[in-house]
């Protein structure tokens, strides 16, 4: 199946965030995002793509969720936090658009 733009976009944003998180020492969540990126690219139809988008959006719910993650070290909030915040917002918007 040819990858549609929304599938590629979702996978690209997931991978970009995963790379950033790996570089920031957040391997556990980075690996989960990489798994979701692979699932997005491997989706055989729109229903599977929407299921991946739902899984992405589920990351944003509740206390201690992906939405609450702050990249920090002993010196405080890391400079990468601003990029992470922009990517995290883009991921949410892309996943929501995949459900439309």
Domain ranges within the chain, ordered by starting residue: 5-95
Chain centroid, CA 14 distance in Å: 4
**From CA 82, how far away is CA 1, in angstroms rounded?**
35
> For 86-96, how does the pLDDT look when each residue is reduced to its tens digit (9 = 90+)?
999 999 999 99
Q: What pLDDT is recorded for position 3?
A: 40
Helix (H) or strand (E) holding 72: strand 72-73
**From CA 65, how far away is CA 68, in angstroms rounded?**
5
The answer, yes or no, to whether residue 4 has pLDDT greater than 90, is no
Q: Are 82 and 47 in contact (CB under 8 A)?
A: no
């Amino acid at each position: 199946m040819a990858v549609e733009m929304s599938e590629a976009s979702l996978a690209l944003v997931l991978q970009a965030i995963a790379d950033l998180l790996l570089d920031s020492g957040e391997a556990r969540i980075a690996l989960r995002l990489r798994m979701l990126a692979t699932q997005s690219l491997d989706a055989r139809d729109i229903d599977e793509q929407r299921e991946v988008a739902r899984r992405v959006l589920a990351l944003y719910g509740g206390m201690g969720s992906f939405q609450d993650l702050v990249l920090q070290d002993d010196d405080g909030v890391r400079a990468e936090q601003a990029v992470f915040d922009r990517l995290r917002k883009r991921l949410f918007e892309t996943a929501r658009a995949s459900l439309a």
